[in-house]
Every structure is written in structure tokens, then in C-alpha cells.
Structure 1
């Protein structure tokens, strides 16, 4: 059986056995449960407690009405729930006092599902923007994902900070290659390189915010790098100097570039604005990066071996390339970079003590102090004077 399903059954069974356990589960919400029947039952138990059910706070055995009323209330929202299933939940709970630990397991599963769902939405928004030639949808969805990660970190009780995943057998899944470029993106890149080659001052319009990695075709990125090197050294830029720089870097010998590609760039010359074509390249780069980041975050969320804290921090790190491209996109458009804001916590947010209970992490004990020395304390040795032969 799925461990997450066992945890959901255990926490519900614990509350059915001991209604007072709800006081230790205020940080757990019904939508943190995966199965709809479990969501409805936990919501019903919380409603009965808020309505002042006689079973809450009472001493002695729990009355049977607590179970029956919970099943009746949950049955108003889902079908197929019976008292027999409620009693099977009770039998699935080893110890009712372990309810906070079971709840932490449920919350952990909810964090993985939530991150995966928002990563899928980011990927869909990036693909839609790539088709429509836009970027705003992907940027808004990325802001939502960043806010969700920050809010989940607060609920879990950790500090959100980007951390690279450098160890572990699944570390390679976070490195996702971008998809194959479209014909339109390739054409825009070729036109841009042609304008940069033929117009003397064109590089000044794009060099501050356009990078070789923004080109979908790696060969085009290498040509742009050669143009940037010529500009940096103050050398003239034209077809001949570009060909010489390409040959000097060995790009023709190792097969990175071919003579046909360089000829295609030269033949594609047309009157145009380097800034406009640069914006087209940047727009394509942003949607590709958003899609790649979304796939990396989803791969992390589907790794059940990752704890919530590491998942959140690795996901924030996976969004780093998108943030970098976004900042340059805003610079290219002459707009300040908006800072993504986290979603506001609910007014009845969990207190720190219960967040700690949800995490169920032991507090390290302070190391014992060394025993006091008895008797006279020896005086420290005096420094030895330097010998005469060594000044």
C-alpha cells in the first residue's frame, strides 16, 4: 500500500480515536489530503470540533456519536462513505498520540503534489507564450510558483533559499536540455546576426542584455560570441573579420560551424533593427528557459526521496536561470525588474510551536559542560624570548 495513503488513514483514525488530537493539527488542512473522501472526513471532524461537539474535551471513552456524526457530515460532500470505513481507519492507526507525526507525513505529500501541479502550469504557460509570441503568462505563472514555494516553506517551518542539488543519484534530473528551436526562432537569430555583422554600431544596441546562451541554435550563439569578442577588442566588424575570428577559435575545424551557415548569415542581410530582432531572440529564450525550469522543478517534485525543505530549496534554485533571463529581458525593455511576492499567509496561520510539531524534528541537546577543575590552577607559561640569532 502507498505509504502516503497509510499516513492519511492513520491521522484520521487518530482523530476518530481521540478528538483532542485536533488541537495538535491546526496546521493541517483538508486539501492536504490526497483522497477526496479523506478530505471530506477531515473537514467534517474539524467542523464538529468548531461546533462544540460533546466528544471534544470530554473525559472518558469517546462516544460512538463522534464517529457517526463525522461520517454523516462528510457524507454530505462525498458518496460511498460508511461507518465501516471509519472503523477501518481507526484500526489503521497504531497510536493516536502520534497524530502530529502522521499529519506531517500528509503535509509532506501535499507539498510534493502542490509543487508538481504548479510546475506543470508553468510549463503549459511557457508553451502557450512560445506559440503566441508572448512572455507575460509564463512570468506571472513563475511568480505564482515562487510565492507558493515561499508559503510552503513557511508552513513546513524552514527558510526558503535556493540550494543547488549537487549530490545523490537523482541529481542529474534537474539538468534539462532545452527543446529544439522553432523555424521562426532560427530565422530571427540569423537575421539578428546579419544585422550585427553589417551595421557598425548594431552591437551597442544589444550587448548589454543579450547573451550567447539566449540563442536557441548553439552555433548562432558562438557567432554572437565572436562578434562580441571583436567589439571588445575594438576591431572592425564585417564578414571577413567575423570569418577570421570564427576560424581562430577553431569553430570551423571542430564542426561547430560550417561555411554554409556563415554564408546563410551573410546572405540574410536586410535593413532592420538589431534591438527589435534582439527582443525576438530574448523572448524566445525566456519561454524556453521557463519550460526547462518547469520540467526541472517537476522532476524534483516527483522524487519522493526529497524532503520538503530540500525540495523547496532545490526548486527555487531551478528557477534561478529563469530569474536571470527575466532580469535581462526587463533591462532590454527598459523596465524595472518586479520582485515576486509570496502569497499572504492565512489569518489563522499555524503558530510556531505547532509548525515544529508538524516537522517532528528533534531538538538537539546542548553539549554537557566540562567538569570544573579542582585545586590550584597552574599559571600560564610565559612566552619564550627569541634567541639572539633570530631577530
Structure 2
């Protein structure tokens, strides 16, 4: 049995033993449980507690009706739940007072699952958009994923902010599929147009970048064309070849004479702005898919703490934000500003509550008591962390 499943059983057993534990678990929802039967039972327990079940105000022993009524209520929404299973949950709880810690474990598993699911949706939307020549579905999924990350951060009790993970995550996530989008022809024709009519560079230089090309070699040719344009130098096969040589692109094998000749000799009619938009559209979906793969790899790392997972995932969305801004610039539209998590008067109360539910504050060493003080040792004992 996995630790996550044991944690789900323990938190349910704690609430069945002590309904008052629900007051410390108001940040935990039924959707955070992985098993459907656990989701239904926790929802039933919350419903009975909200309806002021007699067990909610019991001071001594909890009446058996608390268990039987919870099983009956949950049985209306899920099949297979029995009273014997509820009693096995009670046996699976080591200490009811540790319910907030068990709940934290359940929430941690839910965060990883939720981020994984939304990353998969983003990747699927990017693939579909690439096939249809669109970008809007991928951008909407990215916005949903960002909102989910901000909401999970508040529930976990941390401030959502992008943090660089420092190293690519290791995971069994699938590698990028070759031939993501068939934009070879558009890229080739665009470079030919820019080489033949250098003034056309003014139509795309403000928003198209070398990294937007699916073929890195063509991206380097675009970089060389941009350098010549920036310096006001003439553009032809010889000057372009010379610029590539100066950058070491011929020596390291990134480019060849034949590739540059093919660009300069393969001139055809076309609009640089329109062709640039096709390259840009493909770049948006590729970057969205790459961000989704990175976030999924992060979420599948069970050793990654939720706060770090959320912040690293927000950082992984950064490249998509940058390419989105340029995509809107290419279409003459202002880019939407991603909503920041406002904390004008300190963290929200729910955020503070979630953080306190995870750990108690460290004790502050009291000043030395004067001689003759009657303060007992119990008065300066550190607060309990719920382990006894």
C-alpha cells in the first residue's frame, strides 16, 4: 500500500473517531482524495458535520450513528462502501490528533496529480492546435494551468512565484516528437524573401526571433540576416556566407554553403509578414508543448515538495508567456497581462491557515527568568507539534 493511500485512510479514520478534526481540515476538499470511495466518504462527513449531526457536539464518546450515517450518505454517491470498511479506516488511523498532518499528505498528492493532469491537457491542446494551424486552445489551457497553480499555492500556504529549478527534471515523460509541425516550406520561403528583399526584415524583426524557427540551422540564417540588416550592410549570397563564417557556423557544422546557397537561390513570391506569422504560430504551439512536458516531468517527481513544484511550474510557463507577447505583437493586439497573486495586506487568511496546519511555529527562547521566579518548566515548554 502506498503512503498516500495510507494517509487518505488515516485522515478519514481520524474524522470518524473525532468529528471535531473537521474544524482543522476546512482547507481539505473531497476532490483532493485519490480514491472515489474516499472522496464520497469525506464529502459525507463534511455534509453531516455542516448539518450539525449529534456527533459534532459529543463531548465524550462519539455515537455509532456518526459512522453508520456517514456510510449511508456516502453510499448514495458511490457503490461498494460498507460499515466494515469504515471501521477498518478507524483501525488505520494511528492518532486522530495528527489529522492535519495526514491531510497535508493527501493535499500534497492531490497537487501532484492536478498539475500532471493539467500539463497533459496543455500538451494535447498544443498538439491539436499545431495540426489545425491555431494557437488559442493551447493559450487557454496555459491560462487555466496558471490559475490552478495559483489556487494550489494558496491552499498549500505558499506565495506563488516563478523559481528556476536549476536543472532539467528527470522523468519518464515522452520526448518531443520529431516533425512537430510542417513549417519547413514557410521557413525556407521566408528566408528567401528576406535575402532577396532585405527591407522586408522591417516587417518581422520586431517580433520574430531565431528560436521561433523549427530548424535551428534556419534560425541561425535568420540571425545572420538580422545582423546584416542591423548594421545596414548589403545582403546577398556572399555577405550572408561571410557572416555565417564570422560566427563560426560553418566551422562547427551548424550551416553549410549549400544551405545558404539554397536560401539565396530559391527566391519566390511571398509576404514576409504573413510567412513570419506562420513561423510564429508554429513556435507558440511548440513552446506550449515544451512547457507542458517540463511541468509534467516536475509533477511526476514525487520527491519534489508542493511549494517547489508550483513555483518551478510557474517558471516553466515563462517561455510561453514571452512567445505569446510576440505572437500578439505580430497580430497587432496587446498581449494579456498574466494576473499576479495580490498580497496587499499580507497573505489571505486561508493561506495562513493552510501553512499553520502543516507545521507549528518554532518556539522563541524566553528571556532568562529573574532569581526567585516561580515560573514552572511547563510555562516555557515548546508548543506541541501534534506528535504526542
- Fold shared, TM-score > 0.5 on shorter chain: yes
Aligned to 1:255: 253
1:113 aligns with 2:113: yes
Q: Secondary structure at the match of 2:56?
A: coil
Runs of 5+ unmatched residues, structure 2: 343-347, 371-388
Contact 1:162–1:317 at 8 Å: present in 2 too? yes
Shift of 1:338: 0.6
Aligned to 1:226: 224
Aligned to 1:362: 360
TM-score (structure 2 length as normaliser): 0.89
Would you say how many aligned residue pairs link Structure 1 and Structure 2?
Answer: 365
Q: Secondary structure at the match of 1:224?
A: helix
Q: How does 1:1-391 map to 2 (within 5 A)?
A: 1-166=1-166, 171=169, 179-181=177-179, 184-341=182-339, 351-352=350-351, 354-358=353-357, 360-366=358-364
Shift of 1:258: 2.1
Q: Secondary structure at the match of 1:257?
A: coil
Bigger Rg, which one: 1
Cα RMSD for the two superposed structures: 2.4
Contact 2:198–2:229 at 8 Å: present in 1 too? no
Shift of 1:229: 1.2
Contact 1:179–1:288 at 8 Å: present in 2 too? no
TM-score (structure 1 length as normaliser): 0.88
1: CA distance, partners of 2:13 / 2:365: 39
Contact 1:195–1:269 at 8 Å: present in 2 too? yes
Contact 2:33–2:106 at 8 Å: present in 1 too? yes
Contact 2:181–2:282 at 8 Å: present in 1 too? no
Shift of 1:173: 5.5
Aligned to 1:381: none
Aligned to 1:379: none
Shift of 1:355: 1.5
Contact 2:171–2:300 at 8 Å: present in 1 too? no
Shift of 1:260: 2.6
Runs of 5+ unmatched residues, structure 1: 373-391
